Each structure stands twice: as C-alpha cells, then as structure tokens.
Structure 1
Amino acid sequence: MQTAKTLKRRGAIIVVALLLTMNAKAQSDELQQLLLNIEKLTQFKAILSDMKQGYQIYQQGYGMVSNLSKGNFNLHNIYLTGLMAVNPAVRNNPRVGQIVGQQNALISEYKRYANLFRQSGTFKGNELVYFNNVYNQLVKQSNANIDELANVTTAGQLRMSDDDRLRAIDRIFTSSTEQLQFLRYFNRKAVMLSLQRSKDRNDTQTLKRLYGIN
C-alpha cells in the first residue's frame, strides 16, 4: 500500500512533467510563430523591393515621357515660329511688285476717268454716281488684296509655309490683274457711250481730245 509520501512524490513528478511538456509546447509554438514572422518579413522585404523597383521604373519612364513631350513641344514651337518667318525668296517674288503696281494703276486710272466723265457733260448725275460706286468697289477689293499681300510677306503675321505664301501671292496677283482689266474694260465702254452721245462732229472731236484719243 502506497504511503501518502509516495503519492505526494508521484504527484509532484507528474506536475513537473506536465509543466515541462507545456513549456516545451509553448517554446515550439513560439518557435513556429518566429519562423512564420521571419517568412512574412522576408516576403514583405521582397514586396518592398518590387515596389521600389517599380517606382524607379515609373520615375524613369515618366521622366523619359516628360522629356520627349518637352522635346516634341520645342520642335513644334520651332516649327510654328519658322512658319511666322518670311523667306527672302517670298518677299522678292516679282509678283509682289507687280501687284502693288497694279493697285497704283487702278487708283490712278479710276481717278482720271471719273474726272473726265464729269467734264464730258455726256453723263447724268445718277450715271456718275453709278460710276463712282463701281470705282469704290474696285478700290475696296484692291485694298483688301494689298492688306493680304502685306500679311503674307511680313514676318510674324501669319503661320504659313513658303509654298502657301507663294500660292497666296499668285492668287492675289490673279485677283489684282482681273480688277485692273475690268476697270479698263469699264472705262472703254463708258468712253464709247460718251462719244455716241456727242451731238455733232465738233463735239466728238472735243471728247476725243478730252479722252486722249487720236
């Protein structure tokens, strides 16, 4: 029969064994948790490394795109600035002087004939008003041509290539030529009408001298 002392000793041994078992299990759990934490930390470092690398790539890419964008803008700006300049070959185009000469001729001739028709005495007041309206319209169109020509041949006014400027000059020249031709046609017709209205030979000769006709 076991004594109380023996039972007490066995109980103590069991308690000690239980404590050792629990302690070993606790240490094992802590070790596993530590290993898990180490693994998570390693993964986290890898994630941070990937994020850093990705950010660097983004920064490099953004810088490259930004630089390219600025480069494109600078090239675009240079191109547009170049379009504002005028090549001397454009300014020295012979038709530029011809257009100016045609406008001077148009103004000079309309003033001369408007005065002659008033002096002839063969036209009524309303007819002279009609003549003036025709002349004023031609002068208005001619002035518009000169304004456009000035813009085309002056630096900083229009953004146009050399070819566009040359085409514009050709178009203005055609318009100016047609205006001057119409003026001269109109004046010839008016002169013929004035002569037809002369009452006799003396009147006809007087009108011819007035108009400078031999």
Structure 2
Amino acid sequence: MKKLLIYCLLTGLLSGSLQAQNKQAKVLLEQIAALHIYIGYVQDGYSTVKNGLDVIGDFKRGELNLHAGYFSSLRMVNPAVKEYIKVAEIIALQAKILQSSNNTRNLLQQDADLFNGNELAYVGKVYDKLLEDCERILNDLEPVVTDGQLEMKDDERMERIDMLHANMTDNYIFCKRFGNSTKVLAVSRIKEEMDIQNARALRGIND
C-alpha cells in the first residue's frame, strides 16, 4: 500500500514536471519563433531604410551635379552678350576719349605761352583721372564678357554692360566739354593777344 502510494506520488510529480517542462518548451519555442519574426522585420526594415538612404543619396548627388552644371553654365558667356553692341561702343568711346585728351594736350603744348604752369598741371591731372576711370570701366567689362570669370545670368551681364556703357558715355561727354572749354579759353587768349598787338601796331608801339 505504501509502495503504491509512493508510486502514485512519483508518477504525479513526474507527470507535473513533464507538463511544466512541456509548457516551458512550448513557451520557449513561441519566443524563438517570435524572435525570428522580429529579426525578419528588422532586416526588412534595415533593407528598406538602406534603399531609401541610397535613393536620397543618389538624388542629392544628382541634384548636386545639376547645381554644378547650372553654376558652370553661369560662367559661360552667351555669344549674344559678347556681341552686344554696347560692348563695342564702350571700347570705341574709350578710344575717342584717349584721342581727344591727347589732341588737347598737344594743342596746349604748342601754345604753352597761353597757359601758366599751374593751369597746364591742372589740365594734365584732369585727363589722368579721366583715363584712370576709363581703364577701370574696361577692367570691369572684361570679366563680364569673358568665359569662366563671373557667375552671372545673361540679363545680369546685360545690365552690367548697360551701366558700364553709361559710365563711359558720361566720361566721353565730360571729355568733349572739358576739351572744348580748354580750346575756347586758348582761342580767347590768342584773340586777346592779337588785339593787344593790333592796338600797339595802330599806336606805333613796338614790342
């Protein structure tokens, strides 16, 4: 009877132990399966993210290349800009200013007795400053019409050329007016000198 009781107890304990082990094994298997599913999700998610990052990277590289191409195109001067009539006019006006200033200076040198030293120095300084400004305008014009110098749109280049043309035109107008006023002053002094000589001749006064 006692052996039977012990047997029954052992059987119950073993049965309970096996049932508990089976339950633990089942839970463990479920956890392992869930872990595999989670790992799959993680791998799929990583792959998706990586692909997404690759796409973004490709897009950014393409966008960067697009921007680089755009800015490179800004450095190239449209032939229509280079052939803009005001470009040639700026150069022609500068040549006229140089010719006019040289003519006036040569005239004053030939009639140096009509002007004193301070007056000649003043005229020389005025023309020097004028020619310096003309040179500045040409220096500003060069990169506007030269490839690879400035990043500018066509309309921006045209506006800059218009501004430089206006500046050179102002210089030309000033040069002509200053030269004419200097010549008028020279003619006036020549006439004054001739009037004095004629008056002396009429009076019989010799130099």
**What TM-score do you get using the length of structure 1 for normalisation?**
0.85
* Pairing 1:48-197 to 2, within 5 Å after superposition: 48-120=39-111, 121-197=113-189
User: Unpaired segments of 5 or more residues in structure 2?
Assistant: 198-207
1:200 pairs with 2:204: no
* Larger-gyration structure (1/2): 1
Cα deviation for residue 202 of structure 1 reads: 6.7
User: Unpaired segments of 5 or more residues in structure 1?
Assistant: 1-9, 205-214
1:5 corresponds to: none
Deviations 1:59-87 (A, max 9, x none): 11111111111111111111111111111
| Rounded Cα–Cα distance in structure 2 between residues aligned with 1:86 and 1:61 | 39
1:23 corresponds to: 14
1:208 corresponds to: none
AA of the residue aligned to 1:50? Y
| Rounded Cα–Cα distance in structure 2 between residues aligned with 1:87 and 1:179 | 28
Cα deviation for residue 150 of structure 1 reads: 1.2
| Rounded Cα–Cα distance in structure 2 between residues aligned with 1:65 and 1:195 | 79
| Rounded Cα–Cα distance in structure 2 between residues aligned with 1:191 and 1:95 | 30
| Rounded Cα–Cα distance in structure 2 between residues aligned with 1:202 and 1:51 | 111
1:46 corresponds to: 37
Cα deviation for residue 11 of structure 1 reads: 2.4
Percent identity reads: 26
AA of the residue aligned to 1:200? E
Bigger relative contact order, structure 1 or 2 (CA pairs below 8 A, ≥6 apart): 2
User: How much is the aligned-residue C-alpha RMSD, in angstroms?
Assistant: 1.7
AA of the residue aligned to 1:76? H
* Number of aligned residue pairs: 195
**What TM-score do you get using the length of structure 2 for normalisation?**
0.88
Cα deviation for residue 153 of structure 1 reads: 0.8
| Rounded Cα–Cα distance in structure 2 between residues aligned with 1:43 and 1:111 | 97
AA of the residue aligned to 1:189? S
AA of the residue aligned to 1:74? N
Cα deviation for residue 195 of structure 1 reads: 2.9
